[in-house]
């Protein structure tokens, strides 16, 4: 019985600290995202891409693609502003643990095993801005594919910041039937290079 009690108390304390730490990170990111319509724009684009790809009438398909261009521009603009706003967050609060599971206050206790969410948002904002820019050499379908990967990778980083890499991986697998590695392979080369440099730096 004594052994059971000695085991339960540390586990309960660890869970409580994990809860407090995660709640603080969720609140921090949510307070910045609340100023924008980024999540709504991402949903609109995802649905619009699916509608355009499923449209058999060329004229109607082109109209949907044109509508999406405006949403792409707005998403790019708002992500750029978000990355600038998030730069004001103190570095210790902006760091993300590289550990696969959530460990309370790892970003403060093990800073060498973290990376900076502020820099990650700059990379995501730049990647989406570049991918959203109209290009005569790239088809609508190809651009939609790259932008979808860029958006999902940004969303993955947000989940990673709020919870853990393991949770972020599980969510992208469950909701989008893909993996972190596949997202990295599908984003633009510039995003992939900068993102990997951030993780390994």
| 16 belongs to a structural domain | yes
Residues whose CB is less than 8 angstroms from the CB of residue 75 and which lie 6 or more positions away in sequence, other chains included: 38, 41, 42, 45, 128, 132, 151
Three-state DSSP state, 35: coil
- Tokens encoding 164: 């853990």
| 95 belongs to a structural domain | no
| 96 belongs to a structural domain | no
- Tokens encoding 43: 């949903």
Structural domain for 16, as ranges: 2-89+103-200
Residues whose CB is less than 8 angstroms from the CB of residue 155 and which lie 6 or more positions away in sequence, other chains included: 42, 172
Question: Distance between CA 165 and CA 162 in Å, rounded?
Answer: 9
> pTM score, two decimals?
0.90
Question: Distance between CA 21 and CA 17 in Å, rounded?
Answer: 6
The average confidence (pLDDT) of the chain is 89
| 12 belongs to a structural domain | yes
| 62 belongs to a structural domain | yes
Band of residue 16 on the pLDDT scale cut at 50, 70, 90: low
Average pLDDT over residues 158-185: 95
Average pLDDT over residues 154-176: 95
- Tokens encoding 113: 């095993």
> CA end-to-end span of the chain, whole Å?
47
| 98 belongs to a structural domain | no
Q: Is the CB of residue 148 less than 8 Å from the CB of residue 160?
A: no
Q: Is the CB of residue 115 less than 8 Å from the CB of residue 95?
A: yes
| 166 belongs to a structural domain | yes
Judge whether residue 2 has pLDDT over 70.
no
Q: 201: which DSSP letter? A: -
Judge whether residue 3 has pLDDT over 60.
no
Question: How does strand 114-116 pair with strand 95-97?
Answer: antiparallel
* Count: domains in the chain: 1
| 195 belongs to a structural domain | yes
Judge whether residue 21 has pLDDT over 90.
no
Three-state DSSP state, 101: coil
Question: Distance between CA 92 and CA 132 in Å, rounded?
Answer: 32
Q: 115: which DSSP letter? A: E
Q: Which comes out higher in pLDDT, residue 29 or 21?
A: 29
């Amino acid at each position: 019985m004594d052994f059971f009690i000695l085991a339960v108390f540390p586990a309960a304390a660890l869970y409580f600290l994990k809860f407090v730490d995660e709640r603080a990170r969720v609140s921090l990111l949510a307070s910045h995202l609340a100023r924008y319509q980024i999540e709504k724009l991402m949903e609109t684009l995802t649905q619009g891409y699916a509608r355009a790809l499923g449209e058999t009438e060329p004229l109607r398909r082109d109209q949907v693609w044109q509508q999406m261009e405006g949403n792409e521009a707005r998403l790019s603009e708002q992500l750029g502003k978000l990355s600038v706003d998030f730069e004001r967050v103190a570095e210790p609060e902006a760091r993300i643990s590289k550990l696969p599971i959530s460990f309370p206050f790892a970003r403060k206790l093990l800073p060498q095993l973290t990376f900076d969410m502020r820099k990650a948002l700059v990379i995501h904002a730049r990647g989406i801005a570049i991918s959203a820019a109209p290009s005569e050499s790239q088809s609508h379908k190809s651009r939609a594919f790259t932008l979808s990967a860029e958006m999902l990778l940004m969303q993955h980083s947000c989940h990673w910041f709020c919870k853990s890499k393991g949770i972020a991986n599980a969510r992208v697998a469950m909701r989008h039937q893909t993996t972190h590695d596949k997202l990295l392979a599908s984003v633009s080369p510039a995003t992939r290079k900068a993102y990997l440099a951030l993780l390994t730096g």
